[in-house]
Structure 1
Amino acid sequence: MKADPQDQRRLLDLQAVDTALAQLAHRRRTLPEFAELESLARELSALEDQRVRAQVAVDDLDRDIARLEKDIEQVRTRKDRDQARLTMGSGPARELEALQHELTSLNRRQSELEDSELELMEQRETAQGVLDGVQRQLVEAREKRAAAEERRDQALADITKEEAAKTSGRAPLAADLPADLIALYDRIRESSGGLAAALMRGGRCGGCRLELSGVDLARIRAAAPDEVVRCEECRRIMVRTTESGL
């Protein structure tokens, strides 16, 4: 293929733009905030599971305490009733003696229930502490997520802005180059990881970085200035300048 040497050199400008766009696309895909947000999502999920378990523990203890309080209230009501009947002193002596024994039993039962309630309340205090700790961790993790999302969004906005600037500059640059040269450039770029044209410098291909053989150098020296030369190894376009070592 033939192309004006100046057009070939301008391919390097186009390649620089395309390389910058590829780097921006890579930055977009690999923002550290993405990994951070994935880690935070896992952390938040685990913390939410812990919060649910801690809340269930507190709720279970609340139900047990409420049941004990109800039992204690029932014992107190029965005690008050028996005490009132005993105070009145009416009825057979055997019945009054039975009331006295029942009051003793009810006092013992109330003491046992109140001891159980106190133990459950201590357990509840511990369980509430665990729940409060998990909720604090959730708040901190959510704040970290919000900060990471803000950084991600800002980084993406910056990348989009740079991409727009590069893309707007690329269009006129590509439009001024011969269509067949651009077609070749695009085919090579698609098949070679994005790098299609590189400067030949010091007898080396700027694409694969390999030193050219004497045969290749002789072939390139013999090529006309408007001949589009390509590396025998990587098949990329080698743009010749005074730095090429020819």
Structure 2
Amino acid sequence: MNARRYAVASAALGLAAGLFAAAPASAAAAATPSAQGSSGDVEFSVFDNGSGIPRNSSFRLADLGRHGVPESAVKQLGAGKAPRTAGADAESHVMSGPDDLVGQWKDRDGWTVYLRRGYYDPARDRGFGLTKIEQKHNLTMKAVRATTQYPRPGAAGKQQMNGRPNTYNYFTDVLHVKCSGWWIFKTCRVDKVQAVRAGVDFGAQIPMLPKGVITAYCEGVQGRCPDWVKNAINI
């Protein structure tokens, strides 16, 4: 066994040992090889955060911990269950005006990104901000934040918009994964890749801060993104 395979096997066994050690007797019994639901197929999605999730080769479910996936999600997937996801952000249910801020964070380069409530008029197909992102494109604040924090490497992931020097487009990929086998040793493979774009205006002031996120959507998709994009388990 070469050093790399030994390291991967050791990491997987270490995770397994940690799961058993952390669980009480009743929970440990449920995590044994004979546990109901510990074998079978599972599907999930992850934002590509640059950690090197293989796209063209298989990998073990236990390896997800090295790619920013919480241990609790690995345990649920190992049991053959889809991890619980929060869905739409709690802030999105708070009523406010279109220019009110509903979120802010730092992008990959440390720039502050602002997200406003916005609006969406389906009759005219006009709008901006979180309302348009949720209602037209079926994305969430978490999905937008992940797109700006984990864009593709280099200039390909963050591009200045032609003719608008203060507006940037961010590009990232969401990976849909299928796994089969037993417990955390399931064999996984990426079977779909969906590109996501987010546009952010850092120039226009409302009234003293940039307008922020204009929109975000799935490239090549008319209207609403598939649910598995916003339900990624690592955002």
| TM-score (ref. length: structure 1) | 0.21
Higher relative contact order, chain-length normalized (CA < 8 Å, sep 6+): 1
* Larger of the two Rg values belongs to structure: 1
Q: Which has the higher strand share?
A: 2
